[in-house]
Structures are given as structure tokens and as C-alpha cells.
Structure 1
Amino acid sequence: MPSPIKQIAATLLYIVPSIGLAYGAILFFDFDPKLAALTGIIAAMLGAEAHAAISRTVERKATRKELQELTSLAAGLSRDLDDAADKIDELEERFERETNERMERIFSEIRVVESLVKRLAGTRDFTVPAPEIEIEASAPVEKSNAPEEVSSSDVPPPKPEKRLEDMDDDELLDTIRHSLETNRVDLYLQPVVSLPQRKTVYYEGLSRLRTDKGELIMPRDYMRVAEPAGMMPTVDNILLFRCIQVVRKLAQRNSKAGVFCNISAFSLLDEEFFPQFVDYMQHNTDLAQHLIFEFSQATVNGAGHVEQASLEALAALGFRFSMDQVTDLRFDAGSLHDRNFRFIKVSAATMLEGTYSAGDIHAADLKELLKRNGIQLIVDKVEHEREVVDVLDYDVELGQGFLFGEPRPVRESVLKDEPAGKAPEIPLAAD
């Protein structure tokens, strides 16, 4: 709005000329004073109208400019709001997608665990029934109306806990089952090192059962009693699944962790477990860079249609394979590569002391043959320095064995849901 000074100045601009016009009409044209005054008034009114028109034009332009600025500002705000709304929608979709994936992974895990635990409970039918005890008839005892008293001698004393070496097969079987049901499954890791630097590049995961008292149940112990009882497929599957669960947590803490995990023929042939296991791995394909599934040479050579289909299902998800317990060097490296085998483990004894017949691959040529087919050779069961010197003559680049490190349990802190640490290696329990 114009200031008062500007309004007075504008008024004088058309009033002063009007007075001059009236005075000039009287002085130069002999107008009647009244007529001259009327002429001046008309001129002042015309000037005022012209001033008003000009002012309205100026205000109209200013208003139009302000409207344009407001419109531009509103358009900018609208774009910002649209961008913000798009980002909110994107975040909501991402959160929902990640939540659904996480929940699906959890549900698939729960389904596998429930299935295995139910099957484990079903194996109780294999336990030996307690013998029937015949009770001889005796004279009837006259009942007393007095309340019964129970002496301390009527309550059987608790059975002392036995050590593993003192248990019979039935007791050991129950102990194994209880360890599995209570999730007393520990993961041990043994390093696979580069040669000659001896720097850890991979680990092999080894599962161990643990009793309530903390005693370890080694595979040689539980396999002896679990297999005759028909429990071995379930035991093998639970151990494999627990190994996968632990490796998933390790991978979250160490992006470079690579772990060999054994799968037996029991798992590959299990028509109930393996499809569930594949479904679980479909929701954990990020583990393909951390997990190398390992099979014995006997399992690979004896693979039928079912086992081969199981291998193909895992290979389709991007998982790599390793063949260990190699005793026969007559194998088709190209065929193994086509089946997604990327590692082969041969013991130091087989490499250095094995006897070779016609058709065998000599140790000196084995490494190069595998390399040409995209397979890495790992010499395992290395226990003496002399063996390291000898295998280096064959240009072996990877080794495993007690000489480089014994299997050690993963620390409990690693398995908890804690933020990833800065340590480059997977933390292991102290010796």
C-alpha cells in the first residue's frame, strides 16, 4: 500500500495543474470564473481517474507477479511433497518386503526344526522295553483307616549321573536324543590355510554333541548306537541344520567367512527332510558365498537319481561343493566341475604315500589337472612339518590338518545377536 507522502505527492500532481488550467482560462481566454473553476474541477477529476487507472494497473501487475511466485512456490512444495510421499512409499515397501523375507526365513526354520524334533521323538520306539516283573500273590492286607505315612525309604534315591564310558547303549542313545532335543550342538571350526604362508582362508565346520555335564559326544560314539536304532538320518539332519544356523550367524559377523559343511548320503536320500532343507536354503541364498557343502567320495560315486537331484537343487541356488575322503584318484574332474564341485580334499598320506596303478592320476599332475577344470586342491590331514615340505613340491596351495590348527569351538558371544565386531577373523574359543 502507498505511503501517505506518496499519496499527497500524487494528488498534488493533478490538482496543481487543474488550478493552473482554471487560472489560465480566466487570464488568457476571459472565461467566466465559475466556468473556469468547473473546468479545473473536471480536469482534476480526470487526473484523479487517470491516476487511479495507472495505480490499478501497477497493483494488478504486482498482484500477478506475487501470484506467479506463490504458484511457483506451491508447485515446488507439491513436488517436494510428492517426492517425500514416494520415498515414504518406497521405505514402507522395503520394510514390508524385508519383514516378510525375515519372517518367511524364520517360519521355514521353525518348520524344519519342528519336523526334525517330531521325527526324533518318534525314534523312541527303537528303545528296548523294560522287562515285565511278575508279582507273586500274597495274603490280603487289612486296610487301616489311619492316614498313610510315607517313610523316606519309600522314595527311590536319584540315580547318579554316569559318564559316557560307563553308559550302556540304551543310556547313551537317550543321552544323544536329549542333547539334540535341548539343542546341545556345538560347532567346531578347523582352519584351511594357504601354503606356504599358512594364512587362514577357509574353515571346516564340525558338529559335536554335548551332554548336560558338558562332555562331548564324538561322531564315533553316537554313530555306533544311533545307526542301529534308526536314528542316524535324523541325527545327521539335525547336526547339518544346526551347522547351517551357526554359519549364518558367523557370516553376519564376518563377510569373508567361508565354511565347509558336511552332508551325508542320509540327508541327500531323505525325502522328507531334504525338500524342507532346500526350501530353507532358498530363503538364505546369501549364504552361497559362505557355505561349501562337502560330500565324501563314496557318496559322490554312489549317487543315484535321488542324490543327484538333491545336488542339482543346491547347485541351482548357487552353492558350491567339495569332495573329501578321496582314496581313489581315478575321477573325472570335468564332470565334477559341471556338477558344481569347486574343491577336492586329498589326504597327505594319499598324496605322498599312495600307490598308483594304470589310469590313476599321479600326485605330481593332480593339482594342474584340477586347476584346468576350475577345481582347487586341498591337502588335508597334514600333521608333520615334513609333509608340508613334500606337498609344496607338488605346488599345492591349500592345506588342512592338526599341524595348522585343531578344531576349536566357536565362542558363545559370536552366536548371540550382537553387532558385528571389527576382528577380521572368526572368534574362536581359547585352547
Structure 2
Amino acid sequence: MVYTLIALAALGVGCTAYFGLTFTPAEAIMAALSFSAVAVVLLERALRQRAENRLEEAIENLSRLLATDAQAGATLGQRINALTDINAASRLEGVEGDISVLGTVIRQVAEAVAEIEERTAPTQRQRTLSSPAIVTPPSPEPEPVIALDALRQAIADNRLIYHVQPVVTLPQRRANGYDLVPRLMLEDGDLAERAEFMPRRGGEDVLRHIEDIGLLEAITIARRARAAGQSGSLFIPLSRATLGDAAAAEQLLASLEANRAIASSFMFIVAESEWRALTTGERAIADALLKKGVGFSLAGTRSLRLDVAELAGQGVRSLRIDAARFIEQPDSFTDFHASDIANYVKRFGVGLLATGVSNEHQILELLDFGIALVQGPHIAAPGPARADMMIERPAAPTLRRAEL
């Protein structure tokens, strides 16, 4: 476009020279060409100067970038030199020495505290002996009032039933799971509680049969609850009588394998004393049950001074403690503060379950202690499950396995 304008301007100069200045045609053409040449030279000079200015600016920007990179490289080199000059080995030796000194100091403090406790122990013992307070020992479990033969006959007559008792989560009191509670229907229609008929000494075959019926009840309830779109854990009683018998343990594993889809909703309740007394073979059966997806809940826990991490690795999901005893004597359970122990065991995926809650005051106390799982007569007493969840009992006990 610029060159077009130059050509038009040269044509105008030639016309002006020919018509206005009376130049000859040759002179007018020469004047137009001279004007065009001068205009083109001036334009090329302006363009070259502009290009040179841009090149100079680009060179200056590149110089600044190179200077910045050089400065960053110098700073990086200084940091590398500083890191190279650091003697990490000597510093680690110093830290190890400080840790060793600290360990020595802690050991000396522990020895001093132990010495002080030994000195004060006789005085405390004298105070305890002279104190009129009477410490009540834990009451032993009562002996069953129903004879073993009568229990066998009642089971043969299909008078053993399982009720459910909810385990709720505080403070909403929403059902977290259900305990399967065995009860015995007497001839007069009354119901005998577990403590009144469950064998204490001997009768392992009866105990295994009762636990077998409980597993069948749990499988039936879990299947129908799953079909109804409901969820929740079922706590099933289990003892060494079943874990220690090869045939019963094999049948238990087979039943869980056949119902692996619902096995994760099962929690086996094992007495804490029996759990600690498990033999190597019984422990292997418990590990096999864990691989099927079930968990364990330790009942009757007398102390929380346990290796909780080890219990969690063995599949223990909850520790059952007596609510009244924990509230009145928390120091008999643990050396932790009562409000810290629940959070401590929760770190390992284990929950504290307070049983035997009998009044609202205990619930408030347990909330202050951070215990969220509770069960007891104040929450709900054991009762029958819904009719559509119950197992249809056959006429003969020998047919129970066929339902699996």
C-alpha cells in the first residue's frame, strides 16, 4: 500500500511538472522517477532503522535473562556448597548422644519413682487395712438352675429360642447391631435367661448345639435383612467348645463359606477369659474365621491393660465392659484417664461397648467418657425379632443343617 501511494505521488509530480511547470515530457518523467527513487530510499531506511531497534531490544532482553540465570546458578551453587560443607554424620552423632542421655535420665527417674513407691507401699497398705471400706470382689457367675439333662430335653423339644437385643450408638441411640440372646422356654411358658440354663462345667456338646442353632438364626436373619435392604451387625455367641472341636469348627467354617456374602455382618462374642486361653489350634480356627470376613467382640473384659494393636490384628472389633463398674471404678480398667481410653482403642479400629446400662445417668457418664456403643435394659431388653426374619424351625433338630 505504501509503494502504491509512492507511485501515485510520483505520477502527480510528473503531471505537475509537465502541465504546471511546462517541462518537456522527458523532463517530467525524470522528475517523477527521481521523486519515486527518493521516496523508496527514505522508506527502506526507516524500515531498516525500525528492524535494528527491535533487534537491539531483543538482545537487551536476552542479556537480562542470561544475567538472571547466571545469578540463579550462582545462588544454587552457593546452596550446594553449603550443603556439602554440612557434616551430617557429626550432627547425627550429637543427636544420638542426646537421646542416650535422655534415656538415662528417664531410667533414673523411673528408678527413683519405683523407690518412692516401695517406701510408701507399707504406709498405703496399713491405711488400706485400717480403712473400714470393704472392696467387693467381682461376683462369680451363678450356677445354672436347669439341669443338663433337662436342657437337652428342652433343646430336643425345640424350646430353645433366640431373641435379639440392640446395641445402639450414642447420642442418637441408633441401632448399630443386635446381640443374639439364647432363651429357654419352660413348660409353663416362662422364659429362662442364659445364666439359668447355660452349662458351666461339662455339657460341651450341648453348648456346641446351642451355638450351632444361634449361627443358623443369624444366617436366616442376615439373609432376610439383606433382601429387605437393611444393614447391621449380628453378634453371635461363640465359645471354646466349638472352636476346640474339629467337627464343629469345620462345620462352622463351611457354613460361613457358603454364606460369604453376608459373613461381614457377623461378630462372634467370645468371653475375654476364653480368648486369652485359646490354644494354638483354636487360635488357628479363629484366624480362619477372620479370613471369612467375620469379626470378634470380647465379652466380660475385666481390664483394658491389653495389647490393643495385637487384638485388632486378631480380628477383635469391640471390647465389652460393664458400664456400672467402669463408671464407678475406671482405674480398675486402665491407667489412662477415663475420657481418653475410648479414643486410644479407637485408633486401632476397636470400639468400647458398655453393657448393662440401667439408667439415664450412666448414659450421660458414658458420653462424657467418649463411649459411643452401649447396651442394656435401659436401652432395650431382649425381644423376638420380626416374624419375617425368624427361622422356620423343623420338627426334628437333625434337619437344621439341611437349611444351609
TM-score bin (small chain): 0.5 to 0.7
Question: How far 1:212 moved relative to its partner?
Answer: 4.5
- 1:54 paired residue number: none
1:253 pairs with 2:228: no
Choose from 225, 232, 237 the match for 1:262: 237
Question: How far 1:372 moved relative to its partner?
Answer: 0.8
- 1:65 paired residue number: none
1:410 pairs with 2:381: no
1:320 pairs with 2:291: no
Choose from 208, 218, 237 the match for 2:208: 237
- 2:169 paired residue number: 194
Distance 2:383 2:184 in 1: 14
Question: How far 1:402 moved relative to its partner?
Answer: 0.8
- 1:176 paired residue number: 151
- 1:282 paired residue number: 257
Is the alpha carbon distance of 1:393 and 1:317 closer, same or farther for their aligned partners in structure 2, counting shifts above 3 Å? same
Distance 2:288 2:258 in 1: 14
Q: Answer yes or no: is the 8 Å Cα contact 1:346–1:377 preserved in 2.
A: yes
RMSD: 2.4
1:390 pairs with 2:365: yes
Distance 1:401 1:331 in 2: 25
Please list the CA deviations of residues 130-176 of structure 1 after superposition, one character each: whole Å capped at 9, or x if unmatched. xxxxxxxxxxxxxxxxxxxxxxxxxxxxxxxxxxxxxx98x944331
Question: How far 1:251 moved relative to its partner?
Answer: 1.5
Greater helix content: 2
Question: How far 1:394 moved relative to its partner?
Answer: 1.4
Distance 1:390 1:398 in 2: 13
- 1:53 paired residue number: none
Task: Give the aligned residue type for 1:199.
Answer: R
Task: Give the aligned residue type for 1:222.
Answer: F
- 1:220 paired residue number: 195
Q: Mark the runs of 5 or more structure 2 residues left unpaired by the alignment.
A: 1-143, 393-404
Q: For 1:86-165, list aligned pairs within 5 A.
A: none
TM normalised by structure 2 equals: 0.56
Task: Give the aligned residue type for 1:183.
Answer: N
Is the alpha carbon distance of 1:376 and 1:357 closer, same or farther for their aligned partners in structure 2, counting shifts above 3 Å? closer
Task: Give the aligned residue type for 1:315.
Answer: L
Is the alpha carbon distance of 1:386 and 1:184 closer, same or farther for their aligned partners in structure 2, counting shifts above 3 Å? same
Task: Give the aligned residue type for 1:239.
Answer: I
The count of corresponding residues between Structure 1 and Structure 2 is: 245
Is the alpha carbon distance of 1:188 and 1:288 closer, same or farther for their aligned partners in structure 2, counting shifts above 3 Å? same
- What secondary structure, in the 3-state scheme, does the structure 2 residue paired with 1:405 have? coil
Please list the CA deviations of residues 3-31 of structure 1 after superposition, one character each: whole Å capped at 9, or x if unmatched. xxxxxxxxxxxxxxxxxxxxxxxxxxxxx
Is the alpha carbon distance of 1:172 and 1:194 closer, same or farther for their aligned partners in structure 2, counting shifts above 3 Å? same
Please list the CA deviations of residues 110-136 of structure 1 after superposition, one character each: whole Å capped at 9, or x if unmatched. xxxxxxxxxxxxxxxxxxxxxxxxxxx
Q: Answer yes or no: is the 8 Å Cα contact 2:238–2:269 preserved in 1.
A: yes
Task: Give the aligned residue type for 2:211.
Answer: L
Q: Answer yes or no: is the 8 Å Cα contact 2:237–2:268 preserved in 1.
A: yes
Q: Answer yes or no: is the 8 Å Cα contact 1:189–1:205 preserved in 2.
A: yes
- 2:345 paired residue number: 370
Choose from 310, 314, 320 the match for 2:285: 310
Please list the CA deviations of residues 205-249 of structure 1 after superposition, one character each: whole Å capped at 9, or x if unmatched. 1111224443323333324xx455x32x11211111111111222
